[in-house]
Structures are given as C-alpha cells and as structure tokens.
Chains A and B, each alone.
Chain A
Amino acid sequence: MTTPLPIDQMIDLRRGTISREIFVSPEFYREELDRLFTRAWLFVGHESLIPKPGDFYVSRMGEESVILCRDAQGAVHVFLNSCRHRGMKVCRYEQGNTSLFVCPYHSWSYTTDGKLQGVPLYRALYDGTLNREEWSLIEVPKLALYKGTVWASWDPAAPDFLDYLGGAIDHLDQVLDCRDGRPGGSEVIGVHKWVFPSNWKFAAENFLGDTYHNPSHRSVDMIGIGPNAQRGLRRDNEYNKGQHAWVGHPAGHGMHSVLMPPTMEYEPSYAQYPAVDEYFRHCFYERKRRLGEKARLLPFTGNIFPNASYHGRQPRGICVWHPHSPTETEGWRFFLVDADAPAEVKDVLRRFYMRYSGPAGMTEQDDMENWLYATAASKGTIARRHPFNYQMSMGAYRTDDPIRGDVSLQITEQTPRNYYRVYASYLNGAPWSELLGRPQVRTAAE
C-alpha cells in the first residue's frame, strides 16, 4: 500500500519554498527511484569509452549498475548488470573488451548484444522449458547517442531524446562540440568516481545556475588556480564582456550561459602556454566563422534533468550525480577534450581539470563541504519543519527572449523552481505531455 505523497505541499512555487523533506526523507527517495529514475533520460556514458566492437564500460542509472557496450556488429547497448538467473553482476570490471559476459555464479553467459548464449547442462536440465530468447540481459527500451554522449531511459513511452532536451540542446551543443565549432568530436580522458554524504539534488542544483554560491569559492579566487593563474582567479574571465543569462527549460533543464556581444573578441587564455593560447585563439575565431550569430552563446554550467550536470569550458566535463541513499551520492565526472587537440593542449587541460574539479579539486572541495553539512543540518525534526527559501528573483524572467527558454538576466532561483516543478510532476506520475510541457497555470507572482 502506498500513501499518496503530499509532494505538492512540499514544493510551493507560489511562495517560493521547498520542504527539506525531499532532501532527507527515505520515503521521497524511494519515490524518486520508482517514479523519476525509471522514466527520465539519464546520462550513461560516452562513445569514446567504447570505440571498438566488444568494448564495454560499466555505468550506473539511478542506484543500479548497467553495462554500456558495443556489440560485435558495432551497435551500442545498455543492459542492466544483473544475471537473469539469480541476479549476480555479470560484469565487475570497469571497462574492457569481451565477446561474452559470463556470470560468475552459475556460468550463464551473454553475448555483447545481450543474448543468453551459454546455460550449463542445458540439454539435461532445461531442454523444452527454458527459451533462451526470452532471457536476454535486460536492456533499456530507449537509447540515444548524441555527439558522442550516450543517454538512456527505462520508460518505453519516453519521448525521443532530442524532444526531451528541447531548447537545452543549444547549450549542451556548446559543451559537446569541438572548440572550433565542428559538431561533436569530444573524447573522455578520465572519470572521477567518489561518494559523499549529501542528497544528490544539492549537486544537481549547484549546476542549474546557482551562481549565487560564488562566495563559497573565495579561497581559490584569492590564490588563482586558473589557466592564467599569475593574474587570474579560479579560471579565466572570458565571459567578462558578455550578458550572463540563467535559463530554464520546460522539461526541467537549467543552465547559466553567457551571450557574448556580436563584436566579441578572443580573451587571451592559457597565456602561460603560448601554443595552447594559440590553439584556443584559432578555435575561437574558427567557431565564430562557422557558427555566426550562434557563436555568441557560451556555456558556463548546466544540468540536464535530473542529474547530468556539465561545466562548459573551464573546466569541461559532464558530472552525473548517482543516488545512493537520501543522504549519500556517488559523483562521476567525465572529463572532455577535443579528441584531435594537440597533445600539449590536452596536457594543460587535464592538469587544470585535476586542480579544479572533483574531490581533489581546489574549487569543488568547498562544494562538497557545503552539500554535506546542508544535508546533515536538514535531517532534524525541527529543521524539517522549516522549508528552504527559493524566492530569489521571483518573476524576473522573459520567455524565449533573447534565447529559448525562461531567461533571466539576473542571478535567479527560477531555474531550480522550474526544476522542482518538473520534479513534482514525476513524483505525481504525470504523463509525458506534462513532463515536457510548460506549467498549465502560471502563478500570480510569476
């Protein structure tokens, strides 16, 4: 028996408040796993991790282990990493190449297209009963490959991935495309994996455009760790002359991007490394030439609903916030570079990524500290009676002006308000039309 969720009471967008319950309670967490992670499109990995037939990379969707693999014919699949017989993980290596996934438990084996091949003593024990065709590895019903990235949904009725992305694609493209504007062409140069005691939504929200938390990174800005560290902050200020924009999309995605002036010029970056600076200068003008007006949009951070965040340029990568429990998250960060960038460029970038990002990164360590103690201090009975405040810049946005989405030109919590509107729809079991659409009723405050 399921008690109906008072999710609509937890999320009050009219007032701009959200209950702490959704960040700490096991009941909401269970609903998220059952109703949200089983439907939304989730980031699984990147094709550069599985370039050849037989290559596999073990990933996660929600709490569950999945295998991303390329079969003998070159087709990409995503399977639940669990034997159909007794559930043992059929793959406990992170990455590799194989022709078969052999379950260690009773030795059932599966080909790289998921088909059950080997069943020990089949003739003696199963003949006439077990139909191998029906016992393939459990495969995601919806899979999308987009500019190297791999996404999947467990809902056969999920809309096509590009419909799900909607206007967010304008921003995601700037993350995935080559720095010189050629479509796609990125590769993953490494993946951080770590666990931290925080609700996963704190991390997602951070990337939705929470520019307001900038002061928490004061220490790295004081010392300067960016590519131009001798005169810089934690990264180069290439967005200096741009119009910052915080954008929410109807399907829950949100981001902080920058619209550069039409006359935009290259801001010297990586100046300590002349060859790298030259590479980015070349890419900047080549991108401007290729994309024209569209080149004005530069990405900063964003979050593709529900848990795939990105950093668009400095550094550049995709982070996935896998839920472990209401108060524990496993972060995976896939670091991206242009696959055909010169070796020196890749070397300078990877060094910058490492000192900036993840649990060893000087910038993001402070994020983890905040997420941990925000979670910890929201568990208490008294704390849970008092909602979080999401009232920043209420109503201060315009729709589809000057770019697609609900666009705010000031720092705003419109992106998380929009995110939690969609989140509530998932928890209410809403149909896809609602999950993709705009709210039916606009509140007076908005």
Chain B
Amino acid sequence: MRPLAWYQLREEIEEFLYFEADLLDQRRFKEWLDLLAEDLVYFMPMRRNVKFGQHAERENTKQGEGISWFDEDKWTLGKRVEQVLTGVHYAEEPLSRVTHMVSNVRLLDVRPSAEDAQEVTVGCRFLVYQNRVEYENHTFIGRRTDELRRVGSSWQIVRREIILEQNVLLAKNLSIFF
C-alpha cells in the first residue's frame, strides 16, 4: 500500500501533463516553452530493425551520438516556436490541428520522497493526432519518459524522451511538438 501522498503526487503530475498537452493543442506555444527547463534535453531517437537480443543495445539511436529525429535543447525548441510564429513557416502555415492524448501515466521514480517530491520521472503513452490543411492526417503513437523538476508550485520538464513506434517515418514532417 502506497502512502496517500504518492497518489496525490500522481494526480498532480497527471494534471500537469494534461495541462501541458492542452497548451500545445491550443497553440499557446510560448506558454508551453515556459514549462521547459533551461537545461532541457528533448530527444526522439530513430528506431531500427535489429536482430533478437540486440534491442537494448542497438534498436534506438542514442542521445548525444550521431543522428536522431530530435536531440536538442531549449534554444532549438524556442527557435521552432519562433519559426511557427513567423506566419511564413509553410509546413505549419496554416497551422495544423493537433490533439495530444496522454495515458498510462506512471510515476517511475520520485525524489527524494512522495511527501516532498522535488524531482519525478514519469512514464506515459501518447497518441498525437495531426490533421493538416484538408486531407493530411498523421497519427503518432508511442511512449514518453519525462524528468520533471518542481519549480515553486508547478513543474518544469528537464528531460523528455519520445519513443515513436515507427522505423521509416510515415509522416512527411515532424513539424509539431511531442
């Protein structure tokens, strides 16, 4: 039996993740940036088809090495937001319609304790639906692991790892945020 504080914390973290998703879906990109820590790592590996037994070592490209879909910092994400806001970033002009579904939220690690949580590692599943112009539809499904840090009464994202369940990317662009 977990202490009540653990369930309260999970509720708080879920609420934070849903709030964050809502900011993106409402296109409040600058406010979304405020939820990102200055030392943010935003990482989405590419996934490879590897032989049984090699998944742990070789399935995903690695943070800090070579090429991934995203392996970047807050400055770069800020640039992405700035680009959308120019109004002439044609891959997002007109803006896509996007819904982020977040589920299977699990607290994977709480530091130092649920009663006094300062840092949390939270896992979830995402289903992101993007509809663009008239007929373009993309569905991105996968897993996310977020490192969150308490800042005052709220949280900031310090590290986000996005595991998209695709090998060859089946969308023409990754012009949205995950």
Binding site for B on A (CB under 8 A): 92-96, 189-198, 216, 218-220, 222-225, 229, 330, 335, 347, 350-351, 353-355, 359-360, 362, 365-366, 368-370, 372-373
Interface centre among B54, B71, B90, B171 (most CB of A within 10 A): B90
Contacts of A335 in B (CB 8 A): 66-67
Please tell me if the beta carbons of A225 and B79 are within 8 angstroms of each other in the complex.
Answer: yes
Q: In the complex, which residues of chain B have a beta carbon less than 8 angstroms from the beta carbon of A194? A: 168-172
The tally of residues in B whose CB lies under 8 Å from a CB in A reads: 38
Please tell me if the beta carbons of A95 and B48 are within 8 angstroms of each other in the complex: yes
B36 nearest CB across to chain A (Å): 16
**Contact of A223 with B83 in the complex, beta carbons under 8 Å:** yes
* Chain B contact residues, majority secondary structure: loop
Q: Is A219 within 8 A of B174, CB to CB?
A: no
Q: Please, how many angstroms separate the alpha-carbon atoms of A351 and B68 in the complex?
A: 9
Question: Digit string of B139-178 for contact with A (CB within 8 Å is 1, else 0)?
Answer: 0000000000000000000000000000111111111000
* CB–CB B91/A96 < 8 A: no
14 A-B pairs besides A218-B88, A223-B86 with CB distance below 8 A are: A93-B50, A94-B50, A195-B169, A219-B88, A224-B79, A350-B67, A354-B68, A359-B69, A359-B169, A365-B89, A365-B175, A368-B91, A372-B136, A372-B172
Bound-complex Cα distance A217 to B122 (A): 37
B26 / chain A contacts, CB cutoff of 8 Å: none
- With A94-B48, A216-B90 as given contacts, are A365 and B173 in contact (CB-CB < 8 Å)? yes
Closest Cβ of chain B to A229, distance in Å, is 8
Tell me whether A366 and B172 are in contact (CB under 8 A): no
- What distance in Å separates the Cβ of B164 from its nearest Cβ neighbour in chain A? 11
16 contacts between A and B (CB under 8 A): A94-B48, A94-B49, A94-B167, A190-B68, A192-B69, A194-B172, A195-B169, A218-B86, A225-B76, A350-B66, A355-B72, A359-B172, A359-B174, A360-B173, A362-B89, A365-B89
Measured CB to CB, the nearest residue on chain A to B168 is A193
Partner pick for A369 among B48, B49, B173, B174, CB 8 A cutoff: B173
A190–B170 CB distance below 8 A:
no
Name the A residues within 8 Å of B92 (CB-CB).
365
CB distance from B41 to the nearest CB of A (A): 12
Contacts of A192 in B (CB 8 A): 46, 67, 69, 169
Residue in B72, B80, B82, B173 whose beta carbon sits within 8 Å of that of A359 in the complex: B173
Q: Render B101-143 as a binary contact track against A, CB cut-off 8 A, 1 for contact.
A: 0000000000000000000000000000000010010000000
CB pair B67 A190 closer than 8 Å: yes
Residues of B within 8 A of A372 (CB): 136, 172
- Tell me if B174 and A360 are in contact (CB < 8 A): yes
Residues of chain A with a CB closer than 8 A to B91's CB: 365-366, 368-369
Of the candidates A96, A189, A197, which one forms a contact with B51 in the assembled complex, judged by CB atoms under 8 Å apart? Answer: A96
Contact B89 A219 (CB under 8 A): yes
